Structure 1
């Protein structure tokens, strides 16, 4: 079992009620399932998580299934909600 840090940004941080927390999981799917359990009392968390993209140790998860994404001991998962903005 690997352990590391999940970092929440913007709306994900608000929905989780924290900027970061620890994970103990082998895959991104396992880490996110545990996070969903921890934040089951926060109804916006699941909704926001469904719209997020993820970086694992600085690498975009992209189209890979979360079950395929292995987590490293001491690694970092970045949870990035969609961002608005840009040039008008």
Structure 2
């Protein structure tokens, strides 16, 4: 019985290490995903028209502005 108890403790330690390892890998994936998303948003901001004193647009502001800008360009092509 004593031996089983030690084995169980070892298994719990291994499971804890596995969970920690999985969590660290998931955190790395999420960090990379956010890095790529932020890079894409920066690229989008760089092609949108801006005004000299404007602060950096937030993520949602960037997406809304891009949507409205594309809509306006589409409308101008329809009227041309």
TM-score above 0.5: no
The TM-score normalised by the length of structure 2 is: 0.27
Structure (1 or 2) with the larger CA radius of gyration: 2
Indicate the structure with greater strand content.
1
**Larger relative contact order (CA 8 Å, sep ≥ 6):** 1
Indicate the structure with greater helix content.
2
The TM-score normalised by the length of structure 1 is: 0.26
